[in-house]
């Protein structure tokens, strides 16, 4: 059905895939064997002081709020500056109206 060349390419690809899967699995086993199976998430949580953890979370929230406030002030300041008309703009508007209405 397939040419011998395509069969050889397919088998080479199949062998290479098995090789890489085997290497990945071997690396996974060596990493998982090095971990202490007695350590669980509950035991890790017991080592962390609850008050210290909450304090760190609150500090992160304060920093984020400050960053958002600074960003909002910058945006507000930029909008106010955009709303202000420059003296040249007001002069041109005045000149255009004076020409239009003749005053």
Q: How does pLDDT run across 27-54, given as a tens digit for each residue?
A: 777 766 656 555 554 554 555 566 777 7
Asked whether the predicted pLDDT for residue 87 surpasses 90, the reply is no
- Buried residues in 20-51 as b, exposed as e (16+ CB within 10 A): eeeeeeeeeeeeeeeeeeeeeeeeeeeeeeee
Alpha carbons 58 and 65: distance in angstroms, whole number? 10
Alpha carbons 81 and 70: distance in angstroms, whole number? 16
């Amino acid at each position: 059905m397939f040419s011998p060349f395509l069969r050889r390419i397919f088998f080479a690809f199949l062998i290479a895939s098995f090789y890489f899967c085997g290497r990945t699995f071997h690396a996974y086993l060596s990493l998982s064997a090095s971990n202490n199976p007695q350590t669980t998430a509950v035991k890790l949580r017991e080592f962390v002081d609850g008050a210290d953890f909450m304090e760190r979370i609150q500090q992160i929230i304060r920093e984020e709020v400050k960053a958002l406030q600074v960003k909002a002030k910058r945006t507000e300041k930029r909008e106010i500056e955009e709303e202000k008309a420059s003296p040249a703009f007001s002069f041109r508007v005045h000149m255009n109206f004076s020409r239009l209405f003749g005053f």
